[in-house]
Structure 1
Amino acid sequence: MLRLRPEDPADTGAIRRVLAVAFARPDVATPPEVRLVDELRASDAWLPALAMVAEYGGEIVGYALLTRVLVRSDEGNRRALALGPVAVAPHRQRIGLGTAAVQAALEAATELGERLVVVLGDPGYYRRFGFSRADRMGLTSPWSGLGEPWQALVLPPSITGEPPPPQGDVIFPPPWSKV
């Protein structure tokens, strides 16, 4: 039975294990994605309601994280979200748990009135959620030069007449600079 829910403080160890096995590399003891999540938890970018775990059979096997970023433009800074990391334990991959966790996080963001989510990742995977090239939406970042992997998603407005999503330079919190 699949259960999707926001992360609880007691889940930290299980989430670290999922991230460690999902992003395991032979050249590093602890993947940078594990440290990224630890550091984001301790930052102003952390939004507890948008850190989504996927439990399957009572075990945490998936994770999708949305954290705060800013979009800087001539009109000032506007809030947006960054998606990532997204992880599923290898023994539970390819059965839709990552997709379910991402969808749950995006739905929670929509309910909170968020308008824009950016991600750096596989366009073939993130397209299923509606992501498309961020540069074509007027968004830049340190990853803009990568082309298609730099993506954005405009979430539905929570009220009629809400201004369009921001355009400009996406400013990530400091932990992202270490990835």
Structure 2
Amino acid sequence: MIRRERSADVPAIHAITAAAFRDAPYSAPPVEPGGDPGEATLVSWLRADAGWIPELSFVAVEDDQVIGHVVATRAHVEGRPVLGLGPLSVLPRRQRAGVGTALMHAVLGAAEALGEPLVGLLGNPSYYGRFGFVAAEAVGIVAPEPGWGENFQVRTLSQYEGQAGRFAYAEPFGRL
């Protein structure tokens, strides 16, 4: 089952995000030496940021246990509001079982329902392409970091009006 995050889910979300990114070769380094991967801390920072959108933080639940999480927060393209997606986290033992796909469909559907124009993310094109994401530069969006290349992707939604320019995530992303 996919539902919105609740306050009681926060410890489980942290643990899932840490576990999902612990051995990932592309993970952000720990904020504190020997600590959890940066993505686990990032979610906490985002939750405390003005860019947090509670309606866009979802968990996957199986047998009353949270097994996955996704969040989209306020981002901007040349000052115009859009969304930045991530992290997307699934417990390692439940990865490759459709949990991440279900979370992606939920967050993208909610973003569409809220009238958002565009969602940007940094991730593997072969995975996110199945959700309609394309290389950001194909629609005139410039990645926050030039070296991200095709890994920085966007998905336009029905309210997209040709926004183009530099993409800026919510401030906490810059701390990693």
TM-score (norm 2): 0.90
Q: Does 1:148 align with 2:150?
A: yes
Q: Does 1:59 align with 2:61?
A: no
User: Offset of 1:24 from its aligned partner?
Assistant: 1.1
The equivalences for 1:1-179 within 5 A come to 3-25=1-23, 28-72=34-78, 77-157=79-159, 164-179=161-176
Q: Which runs of 5+ in 1 are unaligned?
A: 158-162
Q: Structure 2: how far apart are the matches of 1:67 and 1:123?
A: 20
Q: Which amino acid aligns with 2:174?
A: S
Cα deviation code 1:149-172 (max 9, x no counterpart) = 010000123xxxxx6141111122
8 Å contact kept, 1:115–1:165: no
Q: Structure 1: how far apart are the matches of 2:124 and 2:69?
A: 17
Deviates more, 1:141-150 or 1:20-29: 20-29
Q: Which runs of 5+ in 2 are unaligned?
A: 24-29
Which residue in the other structure is 1:160 paired with?
none
Query: What is the aligned length?
Result: 168
8 Å contact kept, 1:45–1:173: yes
Between Structure 1 and Structure 2, whose CA radius of gyration is higher? 1
Cα deviation code 1:117-143 (max 9, x no counterpart) = 001000000001000000121111323
Q: Which amino acid aligns with 2:50?
A: D
Identity %: 40
Q: Structure 2: how far apart are the matches of 1:148 and 1:141?
A: 9
Q: Structure 2: how far apart are the matches of 1:123 and 1:143?
A: 16
8 Å contact kept, 2:3–2:60: yes
Deviates more, 1:146-155 or 1:23-32: 23-32
CA RMSD of aligned residues (A): 1.5
Cα deviation code 1:49-74 (max 9, x no counterpart) = 100110111110011110000111xx
